[in-house]
Amino acid sequence: MSDEFMLDTDDLERRMNGAIASLRTEFASLRTGRASASMLEPVMVDAYGSMTPINQVGTVNVPEPRMVTINVWDKGLVGKVEKAIRESGLGINPQLNGTIIMLPIPELNEERRTQLTKVAGQYAEHARVSIRNIRRDGMDQIKKAKADGMSEDDQKLWEGEMQDMTNKFISTIDDQLETKQAEIMQV
């Protein structure tokens, strides 16, 4: 029966690549000095009973280098959008003007740069946890196959392969974090 076991490494690798893609999206939301609409991508608003991306409740514009505006389509959601931005950890103080929310982007001082590098570290840690959870799923599959009659040598082989894949993705996360932190700290 041990010959029949085949760990679906393609699926596990696809899921790990998804965690890396998610990390890249989160890193894109961290500003490095200029305003951009992508910095609001991870912000979700509790709209109509479900969590909705900000760009689906209003129009996001960048009228000038240090300003982002959101023209909220539904007047009843303005408060929820403002609350979501305040609680997002972006460090931006929204200003209301009717249904338009203005987000003045402050200059990045040393303290704010340090805060942003910590946020980047948190994003990276979330990605590492995702990778480890996927690794655990793979290890569970291996343990189940071991219970179904896989040899101990095959088990060690698959566990080693699973760990190598995990190490490769964790290393990618660490490299991307280092690059992003250097980008944030650059004056």
Distances (CA, A) of 106 to 1, 67, 125, 160: 63, 9, 26, 48
Give the pLDDT score at 33.
64
Give the pLDDT score at 2.
41
Give the pLDDT score at 1.
40
Beta strands in 65-126 (DSSP E): 67-72, 95-97, 100-104
pTM over 0.75: no
Q: Which residues of the chain have pLDDT under 50?
A: 1-2
Taken in order 66, 36, 175, 131, the sign of the CA dihedral is positive
Structure tokens given for 28: 């894109």
Are 62 and 32 contacting, i.e. CB atoms less than 8 angstroms apart?
A: no
CA distance 23 to 144: 31
Give the pLDDT score at 102.
93
**What's the first-to-final CA gap in the chain, in angstroms?**
60
Domains, in order of start, for the chain: 2-26+109-185 (1.10.132.20), 34-104 (3.30.1360.40)
Give the pLDDT score at 12.
92
Give the pLDDT score at 126.
95
Q: Count Cβ atoms below 10 Å from residue 3 Cβ, excluding itself.
A: 8
- Residue keyed to tokens 């890193």: 27
Dihedral over alpha carbons 68, 38, 117, 65 (to 10 degrees)? -40
Q: Count Cβ atoms below 10 Å from residue 59 Cβ, excluding itself.
A: 12
Bridge partners of 100, per DSSP, are: 71, 97
Give the pLDDT score at 31.
65
Give the pLDDT score at 4.
64
